[in-house]
Amino acid sequence: MEPRGGNAVHRWTAALTASTAALAVALPAADASAEPQAAGPTGIGARGAYLLDANTGRQLWGKDAEVRREVASTTKIMTAVVVLDGHTDLNKPVTIKQSYRDYVVRHGASSADLRTGDKVTVRQLLYGLMLPSGCDAAYALADSLGSGGSEAQRTKSFIAKMNRKAAELHLRNTVFDSFDGISSGGNHSTPHDLALLARHALGNSTLVTVMKAMSTQQKALNVNRRYTWYNTNKLLGSYDGVFGVKTGSTRAAGPCLVFAAKRQGRTVIGVVLNDPATRYQDAARMLDYAYHTHTKFTLRRLPPTAHED
């Protein structure tokens, strides 16, 4: 026989159990109604991509960011870094050799159209390297700043400096076998590593001045010849805040782009590798994601005589 008051206790216990069950059901429903977090920029066609907050060093987003890929002329970021980190005399004159021109013709490479016998400074070669993506300018820098008794030895020693710098910057998936990105397959990096390299490069004010120039005119030291070079980075001057960094494109690497923008004191660095047709649009989507905005822009056109890269 149930003791007195047993029915009341039973009814109270049943009500408490029902209330607890109702609460357990209600909690997931309330949690599920919370607004989902954005997974990243959508529609990015690049095989590999990465976004970095340069101010904090924090990753904002990545897509196969640690997969090694060929990187084409984005290699030239490291070429410039080695020149500048080596405290090179930027006013040092360099005589352009026919072998630099022959190299460009042999590989069908992008060129600053440097003329044999002209004397230009290291600083001018940096413009020829970064704006028209001149492989002849890269060759001239590697040959004049490397060590050894022959061009082959000097360029090899310069590439060794590039790899030592990569190790110093802890770019663990980066290896260079060329000074310009023309490779037999041993020149590779990752979106993550290239973003770290770009962050280091942006610490050099001379390089920032070079890479943000949409065009430049440079006069040879010994003859009355003026070179006009246009920046192959079409995002520069098109998307608000962009001030670098470097294009690249080969059949093996596909279209590549390392880019940087600054808005309201916040610098963002991005990388897209092997982006079949939309590297600039993808870069803009990634920057919009980072800055929580939507930017309308018209892509800058290069003059008909300018080099594409």
Tell me the CB-side half-sphere exposure of residue 246, using CA atoms within 13 A.
32
Interatomic CA distance for residues 156 and 183, integer angstroms? 13
> Active site includes 33?
no
Interatomic CA distance for residues 51 and 243, integer angstroms? 16
Tell me the one-letter amino acid at 227: Y
Which residue matches tokens 């040879």?
220
Interatomic CA distance for residues 80 and 87, integer angstroms? 11
Tell me the sheet residues that pair with 248: 256
Interatomic CA distance for residues 184 and 175, integer angstroms? 12
> Active site includes 249?
no
Assess contact for 142 and 122: CB atoms under 8 A: no
> Active site includes 76?
yes
- Among residues 63, 73, 161, 238, the one annotated as catalytic is 73
CA distances, 230 to each of 121, 128, 167, 242 (Å): 18, 9, 32, 16
Interatomic CA distance for residues 272 and 77, integer angstroms? 15
Tell me the sheet residues that pair with 230: 215
Interatomic CA distance for residues 165 and 290, integer angstroms? 29
Give the other-Cβ count within 10 Å of 147's Cβ: 11
- Among residues 63, 76, 97, 234, the one annotated as catalytic is 76
Assess contact for 81 and 112: CB atoms under 8 A: no
CA distances, 221 to each of 11, 95, 118, 120, 260 (Å): 100, 10, 7, 6, 33
Tell me the one-letter amino acid at 36: P
- Among residues 63, 97, 110, 133, the one annotated as catalytic is 133
Which residues are marked as active site?
A: 73, 76, 133
